[in-house]
Structure 1
C-alpha cells in the first residue's frame, strides 16, 4: 500500500467520536454503558519503542504540526505519522503533555479536530493531550461522548477535571459505578434531571464496603454537593447523605485522603454543618458527625484551605449540637446488633476527643484516633506539629502507624542515640508505595526530628520528599510522649487485653520461647474487634537455639473472645496459661503448609 493509500485508509473510517455518538443515540432511554462501548477495529501497533524513545519520536514527529495553519491536513499527517511510529497511547499522551505550545490557538484547533474527527486511538489521544492543556468549556460535550468509549475514560477524565469537574466525575462514574441505585443516579445526572438526581442521591447505600473514598468524591463532584446543600430546602435525607459522603472521603483506607482532592470540601463542610440540626438524633447520624469532627480536629481535613477561625467555628457548632440532651442520649442506649453496639461504645469513648483544646497548638501533639467501627475500625497515631497533621501532609499514602507500634514500644522516646522510626506505611505496603521515616535524637535540651526518609514509589510523578528539621523543647516533648503512652481512653476491652498481653511478653519473652514459639502479631480480630488474638510461629528447636530457617514451621492463632472480664484480669490469666501450658495445644494452625503440618503432627485447617 502506498503512503497516499495508507493515509486515505487511516482517515476514511468514521471518527471514534461519531462511533460513540451513534452507539449512545441507539440506546433506549439514554442508557449509559458501564466499562464503555467497544472500540472499532484499530490499526495494529507493536509498541516497539520504549518510553524514552517514544517520547522523543512523538515530539519530533508532531511538534512541527502544532502550528500548521491548515488543521485538516495537519490532523491527517498526525494519523499517518503516529501509525508509522507504532507507539503506545500512554506514551503519546506523556509526550504531548510537555511539548512547547508556541501557538496555543493552533494547538487547540488541532486538538479539537483530532478528538472530534480522529479515527485511531493514537490520534485521538494526541488530541486529548492537547486539550488537557488548552481546552475550553465548549469542548466538554464532545469529551463526554468520547468518554463512553472503552479505554478513553482515564484520559477524558484528566482533561475534564481541568475544565468541568462535575462532568469529569460523571464520566468516571459512568465507567465504574456499580449497584442499581448508583447507576440510577448516574443516568439522572446524564439526563440533566435535577429532581430525579436528588431523589437517587438519597437512595444510594454509602457504607464503607459499597462506597470507597474515591467513589464518594466523584459522587459529590457529580451532584455539586456544596451547591445542593445550599438549595432550599436541602432536606434531611440529602443532609445525611452529604455527611456520609464527606465522612467516606476522610477514610484512610485508600492510597490518598480523597477529602484533600475534593476542591469543594471547605464549601461542603461550611454548608453541611449548619444543617446538621435537621438530622434526627440516631446512632448512624451521630457516628457520621463525630467522624467529621475527628477529621476536622486532627485528620486530613485540618489541612484544607480554611479561613482563620473557620474550622474551629465548625467544630464548636458540632460540639454544641452533639451536646444537646437528645443527641447526648444516643450512645447511652445498648443496641442488640453487634455492630451497632460497637458503634455506641466507640461514641462513648470518643465523643469528647475532637473537642478537647490543647493549651497551645505549637510544638508536638500526639493523639490516637479510632474510626467508626463501620469503617473497619482503623486505629492510627496522629502526630500534629504546630497544629498540622504530619502524615497526611508529608506522606499521604496511608494513615499513621498504630499506637502499639509507636507508643507501646517506646519508639517515639528520645535518647542521645539516634533512632530511625517508621511513622507511617502506605496502605498497600511499604514495598509497593513506600513509608515515612524520621530519625529522632536528643541534643541537650532539645529533641530533634531530622533525616526524613520517604522513598518515592516506582514510577511516582513526585520527587522524593524534602522535610525540614524539627526541634522541640525536650521537657515538653517527653511530657507529651509520656501522656500519649499512658492514655488508654481510645482503647476498647479486647484491644486493652491485647496490649497488656503484648506488654507481658515484652517483659518475659521466655513465656513463648520455652515452647519453641516466636511471638507474632498481637491485637484484635479483623472481623470481630471484640476478640483478642495472639499469633505465634512454631519453630522446632528454637528454645535450644537450633532453629532451622529452611525447616518446617507453622503459624498459630490463639483467639480470646471478650467475656466481660476486666482486661487486666484476662491478660493476667492469658500470660499465666502461656507460662504453664503449651499454646500449641489450644491455639489453631493458620499458616505454614499442609506438608509442614503433617511433618509436625498438627491438623491442617479446613477451608473456610
Structure 2
C-alpha cells in the first residue's frame, strides 16, 4: 500500500483514505521502514511528511513517525513537537526522533513543561539520559525559574540524573528561588511546586546537589517560609472556600501545617519521614529513610522510590529490630521485584554493642552491601514514633485501615458470601473513594475459576479526620456485609471471560 503511494499527491491522499479504514494496532508499526519498503530515502520522506501533515488517524500519524525515523532532519523538529503534544504513543515515538536532532534537550524540555503526568515522564526520562554536552546546551538557555521547574519535574523519577549530582548551577538557582517564590509560578500550583521541590531537597535528587547540610536546611526553611507567608495561606484558604473537599487544596493546607522548620537539620543516625506526594502526581505515600542526613533509597537504588509506610512500617515486623535478623524491602523496582529487584535491608539487633545493624543491598546488583550501625535506643524510639504517626492519612485511607482490621477480626463477614479479603485501600489520586477488593471464591488459582470484585464507598476528603465519622463509616460497611452479598453491589475488576462464565457473571465487567 505504501509503495504504491510513491508518486503524485493524489496517490498520497488515496493512501490516507485507505489507512483511515484500518484500525490501528501496534503490530502494524514499521520497525525498519527504509529496509522493509525498499524505497529511496527521498520517497520515504515525502510519504512520511504527507502522513504527518494530512493524517487524522493514529495509524497515519504513527506510520508517518516510523517512516520519518530513517530520514528525519532538523527542519522537522517543529512538526514532530506538535505531534508529540498528542501525548501517549505519539509522544514516545516523537521523543525517539527528537533525541537524534540538534539540541535535543531544548525540544524535550519544551514538551515536558507542556505535558501532564504520566506523559511528562516520557520526556523527563529522555532528558535524564542526555549526554553531558546536550544537557549543557539546554541548561545554557534556561533561566532560574526553568531550572527549579526542571528539578520539580525530575523529582517524580526514581533515577537521579548524573547532571544533578554536584551541580553548582542548580544549587544557586534553588537558593535564589527560595528567596523569590514568585519564580515557582502563580496560584496554588506554584505553592505545590514549592512543596515538591522542598521535599526533593530533603529526601530526593536535589539532596545530592553541590550542597552542604547547613545550606540544605537553610534553603528548606526559606521554601517553608514562602509557603507559610500570609498571601500563600490566603490562596489555600480561598481554594478551600470554593471546595472544602478539594484534595489538592487540602494537601497543601496539611503540608504547610505539618512541615517542620528544622527538617533539613537531620540528626545523626536514622530519621524516618513519611511524605505524601501531591494528589495530582498520582503517587502513593513514601517512607523516607535518612541515614546521617543522606536519603538512603535515593542514594542506593535508582530503580524505585521509597516504599509505602503501610508496607514498610506496618507489615509483619516492619523496621523493628530483634536479635534474629529479618529482611525488609525498602524499595521495589518500578517494574516489579521479579524484573529488576528491590533494595533490601537485613536488620538485626546486637545487644552486646547496643546497636541495630543494617546490611543494605540491591538484589540485582553485584555491588557489595552497605552496612549501617545505629544506636539501639535512639533507633527504637524513632521507629516507634514513625509507627504511631498517622497524621499523613486521609479519611478514606483511615477508614480502609480500620475496615481491614475489622475484617481480620471477623473473617466470617466475607466467608459467608464465599469471598476472601483482597484488601481495602484508597488511592492518593482519588482520596474521596475507599475501595474494598474481594476475591471470589478465593485468590487466583489454576485449579478453579476466580474473579475479583471492587466494592466502593465514598468518604469525602477533609482537612481533619473525624474519628467518630470514620468509625460510623466502618460500622455501616460491616453491617452491609452482614446482610448483603458484596458481589451483588460491587463491580468485577479482575479475572477472565472464561472464569466469569463459569461463575455465572457477565463479561466484560461493567465500568
TM-score by length of 1: 0.60
- Structure 2 counterpart of 1:214: 125
Decide which of 348, 361, 367 is 1:441's aligned counterpart: 348
Residue aligning to 2:362: 454
Which of 409, 425, 450 in structure 2 is aligned with 1:553?
A: 450
Pairwise CA distance, 1:569: 2.7
Aligned-partner Cα distance in 1 for 2:181–2:140:
14
1:495 to 1:392, Cα distance in 2 relative to 1, 3 A? same
Cα separation, 2, equivalents of 1:267 and 1:372? 25
Following superposition of structure 1 onto structure 2, how do residues 142-153 of structure 1 map, counting pairs within 5 Å? 150=69
Aligned partners of 1:516 and 1:508: how far apart in 2? 14
Q: Distance in 1 between matches of 2:194 and 2:402?
A: 32
Which has the higher Rg, Structure 1 or Structure 2? Answer: 1
Partner Cα separation in structure 1 for residue 241 and residue 505 of structure 2: 38
487 and 203 in structure 1: CA distance in 2 versus 1, 3 angstrom threshold: closer
Pair 1:306-2:211 in alignment = yes
Distance 2:288 2:34 in 1: 51
Aligned to 1:48: none
Match in the other structure for 1:473: 375
1:273 aligns with 2:178: yes
Tell whether 2:295 aligns with 1:389: yes
> In 2, Cα distance between the equivalents of 1:607 and 1:584?
13
The answer on 1:286 being equivalent to 2:215 is no
Q: Distance in 1 between matches of 2:507 and 2:246?
A: 35
Tell me the residue number matched to 1:420. 327
Residue pair 1:435, 1:455 contacting (<8 A) in 2 also: yes
Q: Is 1:205–2:149 an aligned residue pair?
A: no
Counterparts of 1:62-461 in structure 2 under 5 Å?
150=69, 178-179=84-85, 204-212=113-121, 213-215=124-126, 221=135, 224-225=138-139, 228-229=142-143, 239=145, 241-252=146-157, 255-258=158-161, 261=164, 264-277=169-182, 281-307=186-212, 309-334=214-239, 341-357=246-262, 361-409=267-315, 410-444=317-351, 446=354, 448-456=356-364
Q: How far apart are the structure 2 equivalents of 1:311 and 1:40? A: 52
Secondary structure at the aligned position of 2:334 is classed as coil
Determine the C-alpha separation between the residues in 1 that align with 2:283 and 2:80: 31
CA distance in 2, matches of 1:226, 1:520: 51
Distance in 2 separating the partners of 1:539 and 1:180 = 42
Q: Deviations over 1:306-354 (max 9, x none)?
A: 1452222211221222222101222222359889921111111212555
Q: What CA distance in whole angstroms lies between the structure 2 residues aligned with 1:603 and 1:584?
A: 12
Contact in 2 for aligned 1:517/1:538 (Cα 8 Å): yes
Closer/same/farther in 2, CA of residues 601 and 282 from structure 1, 3 Å limit: same
Tell me, in whole angstroms, the C-alpha distance in 1 between the residues paired with 2:213 and 2:140: 20
Which shifted more, 220-229 or 492-501? 220-229
**How far off its partner does 1:378 sit?**
3.0
Partner of 1:599: 502
Distance 1:354 1:300 in 2: 19
Deviation at 1:203, TM superposition (A): 11
Q: CA deviation at 1:248?
A: 0.9
CA contact (8 A) 2:34 2:70 kept: no
Identify unmatched segments of 5+ residues in structure 1: 1-34, 45-147, 154-166, 231-238, 457-462
2:17 aligned partner: none
- 474-483 or 357-366, larger mean C-alpha shift: 357-366
Aligned match of 1:10? none
The aligned counterpart of 2:474 is: 571
Rounded Cα–Cα distance in structure 2 between residues aligned with 1:203 and 1:303? 23
Cα distance in 2 for residues equivalent to 1:316 and 1:402: 26
Aligned residues between the structures: 424
* In structure 1, C-alpha distance between the alignment counterparts of 2:245 and 2:472, rounded to whole Å: 26
CA distance in 1, matches of 2:287, 2:322: 21
**Alignment match of 1:584 (pick from 466, 480, 487):** 487
1:497 is matched with which residue?
Answer: 399
Flag the 1:259–1:313 CA change in 2: closer, same or farther, 3 A.
farther
CA contact (8 A) 1:394 1:465 kept: no
Stretch moving more, 325-334 or 553-562: 325-334
Determine the structure 2 residue equivalent to 1:532. 434
Query: In structure 2, the residue corresponding to 1:422 is in which secondary structure?
Result: strand
Structure 1 SS opposite 2:435: strand
* C-alpha contact 1:279 1:285 (8 A) present in aligned 2: yes
> 410-419 or 551-560, which moves further after superposition?
410-419
Question: For residue 421 of structure 2, what is the aligned residue in structure 1?
Answer: 519
